[in-house]
Chains A and B, each alone.
Chain A
Amino acid sequence: MSELHHTSLTALAAGLRARRFSSVELVRACLARIDRHQGALNAFISVTREQALTQAEAADRALAAGEGGALTGVPIAHKDIFCTQGVRTTCGSRMLDTFVSPYDATVVRKLRAAGAIMLGKTNMDEFAMGSSNETSYYGPVRNPWNPALVPGGSSGGSAAAVAARLVPGATATDTGGSIRQPAALCGITGMKPTYGRVSRYGMIAFASSLDQGGVLTATAADAALMLREMAGFDPQDSTSVDRPVPDYLAALEQPLAGLKVGLLKEFFDKGLDPQNEACVREGLRVYEQLGARLTEVSLPHLPLSVPVYYVVAPAECSSNLARFDGVRFGHRCENPRDLQDLYRRSRGEGFGAEVKRRIMTGTYVLSAGYYDAYYLKAQRVRQLINADFIRAFQSVDVLIGPTTPTPAFAIGSKTADPITMYLNDIYTIGANLAGLPAVSVPCGFVKELPVGLQVVGPHFSEARVLQAAHAFQRVTDWHTRVPQGYA
């Protein structure tokens, strides 16, 4: 029993079906670990204990009756950006501190339909705006590998919870790297699918043309299983793509021999920490041993991806967050003098510093006289970056490079200067601008801190990308390492 938390999500699902242990036992074990480590990690905003146990009992009945779906009885956690009916959904913001969603996000509904059990809602950067989880109204999440360091963000709570083995898997979202960067910094697997592959309905919007839901798990196989259940067409999301979902799990074992891997020249730049680079290069050697053919490719416009992102994302967020006006839901200031006072103070008090910074940046780049110079210009450069990727994928199957420039950094070390913080996502943003699927897998350690390797594929090549990650994990054991104190 004590080893359940070291069992992968796929193995847990199988074990439950084989009735080697019960869902109630498993859920109790996970809740016990959450109780033990929440104080140190602050990975959760809400824990839905009673609800989880009730569902676990129902799951056990279903399993006993030989019924149930692919994830029946398997505990997971949801990033607090996903709306959950009857459960507080804060998005890491004071603005939604008391907000109880009257509906479920499509992702939440689908995972429940597959039998998964929600243990709680994980901590995150406020409205997913951050790369360190330090912008959360509920306090920073700590990195299980070193509590003085950040877990990355914005899905830091989900990443820390999975890395510390509090849950076998958690949902997350990725707008500029918010799944892959924390996965890298916490030594786990993080998968961001193609834009439109997973429904955005019920996922509180940050930047609508970039946001995409995905998963954080210990292994690529776990990611394949969870993603298979989450993905698919949703008539409630106009940007969701009506296209069958392949069985990612069944496709995992295909051999890599002959896989054409592109080395992203621009990713191995001066900003990349030499020790991180060493780990990634070692990872590339592993791919060669697996039969992949490496070629260097160049995406000349990629270096502009961060500036493009910091125009497009704030622009969309300034509009998406206008609905938080203190009228129908969310924080309202004390006795407003008039309507304008109600708006200004409710929003001024309800939003944190980084969110306000991005709302103002976005308001500025869309405002009269600046729209063409900033917003339109950025969307044109985005087109160039997208074209670079399309060109690259004419000659290679996947692109491989680092996920982040450095391992986890100290809490508070980058909060003073937003730009240095933004540059953390320099290798991940490109995939969001072009809507490409990408996965980050652990590929080594620098001073006891995990390093991530990123695999990016063309649109809807999730199966291929997951195969590449899985093949890597079959011959390496970085993804099996557990931080000290969480064994």
Chain B
Amino acid sequence: MSGWETIIGLEIHAQLATQSKIFSGSATRYGAPPNSQANLVDLGYPGVLPVLNGEAVRMAVKLGLALNARIASHSVFARKNYFYPDLPKGYQISQYELPIVAEGAIDIVLEDGSTKRIGVTRAHLEEDAGKSLHEGLPGVTGIDLNRAGTPLVEIVSEPHMRSAKEAVAYMKKVHTLVRYLEICDGNMQEGSFRCDANVSVRRSGTQKFGTRAEIKNLNSFRFVERAINYEVARQIELLESGGTIVQETRLYDPDKGETRSMRSKEEANDYRYFPDPDLLPVELDAAYIESVRATLPELPDQKAARLCSQYGLSAYDAGVLTASRELAAYYEEVVREVPGEPKLAANWVMGELAAALNKENLEVSCGRLPAKQLGGLLQRIADHTISGKIAKEVFEAMWAEGGSADALIEARGLRQITDSAAIERVIDEVLARNPGQLADFRAGKDKLFGFFVGQVMKATGGKANPGQLNELLKKKLAP
């Protein structure tokens, strides 16, 4: 790909976690029987009218504040006109010229640890469409309008991303943010959080943007990365072989791992936007906006910064630990158990715990290993009751059977031997059992020191305090 620069902009659609739809009193629950949650307004019945859900507005404002964006005191809903079976009214109620949120930004951390600011052009409220089902319906398509009218916030980025990795980092950051704000459940399998990627390439050093392709409905981070990489390769190949890129909508096929043109959506897409005469302008005053600001939680970046200063963590560790509100809360609860050891806590939460959760793909919030319990284990490392090596063994047991660290250490007699006399006794036995190696050592084979350490550890089942063992063994072997 050398000689080429990639330009990426994302349009993220996040379903807002409201109880009812954006313009009707229908439920928004996922997975209900077909059309059981589509009322007359959602179906676009003759004569019905939309009424705006105040909670959707509040959530959009929350997002805008978190993006340090401008909250519009005056925003307008517009109709986007096009015919499609999953669009009951023949138009989507969206926002066009005057969105509720504009000019925000979000910082992402690149692989080299540096941060990059990605501009957010706008975020607007709109209604989701229904679903078309093809499976098991020979020759026909079935339309389920349960999703029609579900509130969406569409977050449109500036074309600031230069690689699939940056795009994924940005999307993950937005995903983290909407979950922190509790305005979206972030469930990508269910389509609650999905994105369209606008991808183009240009010769390095040139200024003019290339023709872009819009890849629709990417509903996993992996797909975003693969789809963009495929699309970039396709465009470069096409251009290098003298072809030209056509501006079009493309669909990513996860099975084939490629994008293909979506002509059906292409033909005659003159959306004829105009202000929706059934809805009045949304007017928000400063008092309202401040009342929403007052409900903002500590945001990921603020939390990460605090973790660095408060616990002396690296930016990287803080970033990992604040990936979700739950993980950060868990970490801080562990630290409360071992106040002196924030770094030790970080290592265990990001290491042992994360690995164990991954293996059974569980969430930290699953409750399998309460923070107090892990904290209890770390206390025993901190006070030298057990070594780090033994601690791993205790952790396995805790994970498998539960129970407190202390109980397990006692039950399994894993407490370290710190009694010098006891350790000396074992050393004497080991030396007596290995006269040959002892002779060689005295003859100058220094590296046999490790051999004796190993033998003592073996005999004590690894419980001998390593520091004491070294001291005592040195004495014994001294000429």
| Contact flag (A, B; Cβ within 8 A) | yes
A residues with a Cβ closer than 8 A to B are 82-83, 89, 91, 96, 99, 101-103, 105, 200-205, 207-209, 235-239, 315-316, 318-319, 321-325, 327-329, 339, 343, 363, 366-368, 371, 375
Q: Give chain B residues whose Cβ lies under 8 Å from the Cβ of A83.
A: 46-47
Which stretch in B59-67, B87-95, B222-230 binds the other chain?
B87-95
Distance (whole angstroms) from the CB of A316 to the closest CB of chain B: 6
Known: A204-B47, A319-B79, A322-B89. A103 touches B272 (CB 8 A): no
The reply to whether A328 and B40 form a contact with Cβ atoms under 8 Å apart is no
For the complex with contacts A101-B46, A319-B79, 18 further pairs of A-B residues with Cβ separation under 8 Å are A205-B46, A208-B277, A236-B49, A238-B51, A238-B278, A239-B278, A239-B280, A318-B272, A319-B91, A323-B46, A323-B90, A324-B46, A325-B85, A327-B85, A327-B88, A366-B81, A366-B272, A371-B274
B51 surroundings in chain A (CB, below 8 A): 235-238
What is the minimal beta-carbon distance from B263 to any residue of chain A, in angstroms?
13
Do B90 and A209 touch (CB < 8 A)? Answer: no
Report B20 CB to chain A, min CB distance, Å. 14
* In the bound complex, CA of A105 to CA of B272 (Å): 29
Contact of B88 among A101, A205, A323 (CB under 8 A): A323
Interchain CB contact under 8 A, B272 and A201: no
Confirm or deny: B48 has a beta carbon within 8 angstroms of a beta carbon on chain A: yes
Which residue of chain B is the closest to A316 with respect to CB atoms? B277
**Which B residues are in CB contact (< 8 Å) with A237?**
49, 51
Distance in angstroms from A415 CB to nearest chain B CB is: 26
Closest chain A CB from B43 CB (angstroms):
6
Whether A200 and B49, one on each chain, are in contact in the complex, defined by CB atoms closer than 8 angstroms, is yes
Interface centre among B44, B48, B85, B88 (most CB of A within 10 A): B48
A203 to B52, CA, bound (A): 19
Within 8 A of A (CB), among B277-313: 277-280
Distance, CA A168 to CA B459, complexed state (A): 109
- State whether A339 and B50 are in contact (beta carbons under 8 Å apart), knowing that A103-B40, A327-B143 are contacts in the complex: no
Q: Given A205-B47, A237-B49, are A319 and B279 neighbors across the interface (CB < 8 Å)?
A: no
Q: Which residue of B lies closest to A202 (CB)?
A: B47
Question: A368's contact among B49, B270, B278, by CB below 8 Å, is which?
Answer: B270
Verify B277–A322 contact, CB threshold 8 A.
Answer: no
Most B C-beta atoms less than 10 A away, residue of A101, A236, A363: A236
Residues on the B chain within 8 Å of A315, using CB: 274
B316 in the interface, Cβ–Cβ < 8 Å? no
Choice from B47, B90, B274 contacting A201 with Cβ under 8 Å: B47
| A236–B278 alpha-carbon span in the complex (Å) | 11
CB distance from B51 to the nearest CB of A (A): 5
B49 near A339: Cβ-Cβ < 8 Å: no
Complexed CA–CA distance, A429 and B179 (Å): 51
Determine the main DSSP class of B at the interface with A: loop
Say yes or no: is B45 at the interface (Cβ < 8 Å to chain A). Answer: yes
Q: Specify which chain A residues have a CB less than 8 angstroms from the CB of B143 in the assembled complex.
A: 327
Are A238 and B91 touching (Cβ within 8 A)? no
Contact B277 A209 (CB under 8 A): yes
A315–B44 CA distance with the chains assembled, in angstroms: 18
Is B83 at the interface (CB under 8 A from chain A)?
yes
Q: For the complex, what is the distance from the CA of A328 to the CA of B145, rounded to whole Å?
A: 11
Closest chain A residue, CB of each to CB of B45: A329
Q: How far is the CB of A105 from chain B (nearest CB, A)?
A: 6
Decide if A366 touches B274 in the complex (CB within 8 Å): yes
Give the distance to chain B from A375, nearest Cβ to Cβ, in Å.
6
Interface pair A363/B47, CB less than 8 Å apart: no
Task: Tell me the bound Cα distance from A259 to B299 in angstroms.
Answer: 64
Are B43 and A328 interface neighbours, CB within 8 A? Answer: yes
Q: Considering only CB atoms, which chain A residue lies closest to B143 in the complex?
A: A327
List the 9 shortest-distance A-B pairs measured between CB atoms, nearest first: A322-B90, A208-B277, A366-B272, A209-B277, A323-B44, A202-B47, A204-B46, A83-B47, A323-B89
Q: How far is the CA of A202 from the CA of B41 in the complex (A)?
A: 11
Known interface pairs A319-B91, A327-B143, A368-B270; A203-B47 also in contact (CB < 8 Å)? yes
Are B90 and A371 interface neighbours, CB within 8 A? no
- CB–CB A367/B270 < 8 A: yes
Nearest-CB residue, chain A, relative to B83 = A343
Residues of B within 8 A of A239 (CB): 49, 277-278, 280
Q: A364 to B154, alpha carbons, bound, how many Å?
A: 28
Contacts of B52 in A (CB 8 A): 238
C-alpha gap A328/B44 in the complex (Å)? 9
Look across to chain A and name the residue whose beta carbon is closest to the beta carbon of B41.
A236
Closest to B46 in A: A204
A189 to B381, CA, bound (A): 93
In the bound complex, what is the Cα–Cα distance between A203 and B272 (angstroms)? 24
Nearest chain-B residue to A369 (Cβ)? Answer: B270
A220 to B315, CA, bound (A): 78
A210 and chain B: residue at smallest CB distance:
B277
A144 to B141, CA, bound (A): 51
Query: Does B46 contact A325, Cβ atoms closer than 8 Å?
Result: no
Q: Which of B44, B45, B50, B85 contacts A238 (CB 8 A)?
A: B50
